Amino acid sequence: MMGKLPGALALVAAAASVAVPGARAQASTQLTGHIVSAADHRPVAGASVLVHGTTQSARSDSAGRFSLGAVESGRYTLEAYAAGFTTLHQAVIASGAVTDVELVLAPHVIELEQVTIVGTAKDEQEARERLAQVPGGTALVTAARIRESRQANLKDVLGFVPGVYVQPRFGAADESQLSIRGSGLRNNFHARGVNILINGMPYRNADGFTDFESLDLTTTEAIAVYKGGNALRFGGSTMGGAIDLQTSTGYTAPSLAATAEAGSFGFSKGQIASGGHTGGLDWYGSFSRTRLTGYRDWSDQGRDRVNAHLGYLLSPSTDIRAFYLYAHVREHLPGSLTADGLEEDPRSADPANVADRWGRTYDLHHVGLQLRTQLAPAQRLEVNPYAQYRDIDHPIFQVINQQSWDLGAEVRYENSDSVGRRASRLTVGLQPAVERMHNRQFENAGGEHGALTKDQQDRVHGLAGYAEELLELVPRFSLVAGVRLDHSIRKSADSFLADGDQSDRRVFDAVLPKVGFLYELPDSAAQLFANASRSSEPPLLLELNSLAVPGFIDLDAQTAWQFEVGARGRRGGVSWDASVYDIELRNEILNINVQPFPDAPFTVPTYRNSPRTRHSGVELGLEVRTAAHLLAPADAITARVAYTYGRNRFVRDSSYAGNMIPGAPTHHLNVELRYAHPAGFSLTPSAEWAPGHYFVNSANTASNRGWFILGLRAEWALPSAGLSIFAAGQNLTGENRSPSVQVDNANGRYFEPMDGRSFYLGARWTR
């Protein structure tokens, strides 16, 4: 593996070699200026300015001054924007040695349409402004970045967000190992420790359980990532934070769109969608179908998904929106392999999984309403009720059969009135939620229902309130403080009494404070930030209902203090971010797969608390865009680098004190170069590198090898025809590795092989 290092370094070196803004500049005039407020003609600090048609951009200093560097003489359009002001577009004639301009920004409050019309330039601007007001690690994945990917799973779109570790368990399928800053490394299936939202609304069960199979990235316009305690605006209380998917609307979607993709191992995905608006009404609808034979035996997957979105403007200050999501999911589960099995036959499945037809089939319906009203120029109220129903049949060592109903709401009030002459933004929210689940298990008779072994009614009741205030204390220095109060009940009523009454009830309460600081560096386009926050995660129903023992097991809530410092900035064609964090955990919940009886051919999950653990790390992101002048005067090269260092350790534990927490590599690097020709052609080589080894069990006696993976994507966009075509290759060297793992497996089956060498073709047409 280390023999691959020169290739990675060469790619990084190539990125650096093109990352010299202005190296080929043909400029003859210097663009400078100052920005003032139309209200009182005072300087506006921290405003962003860019020159349309170039890579030039800058931010104003404390005196409102900016310098955009050298450009060729001619006519340009400058765009300037800042939080609390209307975006300005101003024509400028650049001539002479220096061209100095004055830009006057008009103060404004956020209008309703800027937040309801998801994915527009104004909405993206507001999203960036909100992220810039967070004193910690965040990221915004735009529609352009999403469409430049295969859009098959979360790794395709989140691979360049430092600190976010996503590895598909079965190739192009949605099911993935997902972790932010080491959250949920106990997971051997689905997601814990991260809040997933759709349009700012919770998408999850009331106990916090989440999966991925219902999410359709072809309908997603943008993805905002709030790491750790930085997710408090959405009421977040998980260690990992929140991932918010913004979907298409009738304002942002074309009247007709079709997408078709096909590739190795039986992968195919098709989507047809339509949207539009008239008067105060807008609508959007999408149907997609995904099929996958799979790289491995017994790994075929199927997804049918419907997304619908209807909005209506009730008045100039109020609108209402409805979201509907339906998914029919069918999948076989090949299981994990031993180290020998990975080496000898990575395409094989666990024989026990095939014999008992392990798999998962479910139907999910999710409905959300969103009422937004502008109470006053700087005050907004959002009321977001939602309902979800899921019916699942899940043959594993037994057949799990569940029907669950979830009801909840997110009520959020925002006030951006200034306090004195100081900028302020107050967010207050309330989150009631209930879940009812009919939970039954049957003996597995070749994948069919055998004798009944469990029959219970599970309940979850939750109520949380939160508040967060951003206040500018002095120019360029702001305080962000908040708190969340959380009350949650888990209970079960047992109807299967052959093994005794397993009814139980647990209550979890938490007070979760947060404080952070933001500092805008003078005369530069950079911010420094720091924060400290507390999180609490009560165990999920499936963790309390351990499949290894009857009744609820004795589990405490997982709590943590998270500390973070960092910086981010943007100048010219260069943007960057860096964070260093330390998370001190109490009672981290561990997932241990045990044999239910001696020499059992399968394992079942059970859980316990580890008294004290620590997650610490470094996250670095860099993007550089520069004129290339290789094949045409207006071509460009963009380099992206995302690096994560994570060190997760048992501090105090009866069995594992001093050991590393298993499940993720210590170092993880993604690198990409994208060449774009003005004719619409682009070529993007990429590399993913995880050097060395990392442990896959808590005893630190078994480990996984690192990997170095090469990819290549070519795309040709034909805007006049509304068509784009792409071809892509992944794992071009055919590496046999397992980036996704199943931790602490008693049978030594830790490894979930990645796809071998694979190729994909696709096209997207819009009208």
Show the tokens assigned to 651. 């501090």
What is the gyration radius of the CA atoms in the chain, in angstroms?
A: 26
Looking at the structure, give the CATH architecture of the domain made up of residues 27-108: Sandwich (2.60)
Contacts made by residues 636-639, CB under 8 angstroms, sequence distance 24+: 636/55, 636/675, 636/676, 637/18, 637/673, 637/674, 637/675, 637/676, 638/673, 638/674, 638/676, 639/14, 639/15, 639/16, 639/18, 639/19, 639/671, 639/672, 639/673, 639/674
Let me know if 340 is exposed, middle or buried by CB neighbors in 10 A (0-12, 13-18, 19+): exposed
Show the tokens assigned to 717. 């966009």
**Rounded distance, CA 631 to CA 261, Å?**
29
**How many CA atoms lie less than 13 Å away from 34 in the CB half-sphere?**
10
Phi, psi (rounded to 5 degrees) for 632: -155, 155
Q: Where are the domains of the chain?
A: 27-108, 231-766
**Rounded distance, CA 121 to CA 131, Å?**
15
C-alpha separations of 251 from 120, 247, 351, 434, 742 in Å: 8, 11, 50, 33, 43
Phi, psi (rounded to 5 degrees) for 132: -70, -15
Give the pairing of strands 379-395 and 164-168.
unpaired
Q: What is the pLDDT of residue 4?
A: 40
| Contact residues for 105 (Cβ-Cβ < 8 A; gap 6+) | 35, 36, 37, 38, 44, 47, 80, 81, 82, 85, 86, 88
Domain 231-766 in CATH 2.40.170.20? The answer is yes
Nearest to 48 by CA among 526, 512, 645, 719: 526
C-alpha separations of 594 from 325, 447, 549, 554, 604 in Å: 36, 21, 11, 17, 5
Show the tokens assigned to 408. 């909840």
Which helix (H) or strand (E) is 156 found in, with range?
helix 154-158
- The tokens 């006519």 sit on which residue? 75
Which helix (H) or strand (E) is 333 found in, with range?
none
Residue 28 identity: S
Nearest to 384 by CA among 469, 472, 319: 319
Residue pLDDT, tens place only, 539-586 = 999 999 876 566 799 999 999 999 999 999 988 889 999 999 999 999
Q: What is the pLDDT of residue 123?
A: 65
Phi, psi (rounded to 5 degrees) for 3: -65, -15
- Residue 709: count of CB within 10 angstroms of its CB: 20
Q: What is the pLDDT of residue 17?
A: 40
Q: What is the pLDDT of residue 178?
A: 94
Residue 222 identity: A
Q: Give the residue ranges of the chain where pLDDT is below 50.
A: 1-27, 109-116, 118-119
Residue pLDDT, tens place only, 326-344 = 999 999 999 999 999 999 9
Show the tokens assigned to 620. 């670095």
Q: What is the pLDDT of residue 120?
A: 54
- The tokens 């913004």 sit on which residue? 246
Nearest to 64 by CA among 50, 49, 45: 45
Show the tokens assigned to 622. 């860099």
Q: What is the pLDDT of residue 567?
A: 96
DSSP lists the bridge partners of residue 37 as 105
Nearest to 372 by CA among 410, 406, 407, 408: 410
Q: Are 440 and 402 in contact (CB under 8 A)?
A: yes
Phi, psi (rounded to 5 degrees) for 27: -80, 160
Q: What is the pLDDT of residue 167?
A: 95
**Rounded distance, CA 475 to CA 422, Å?**
8
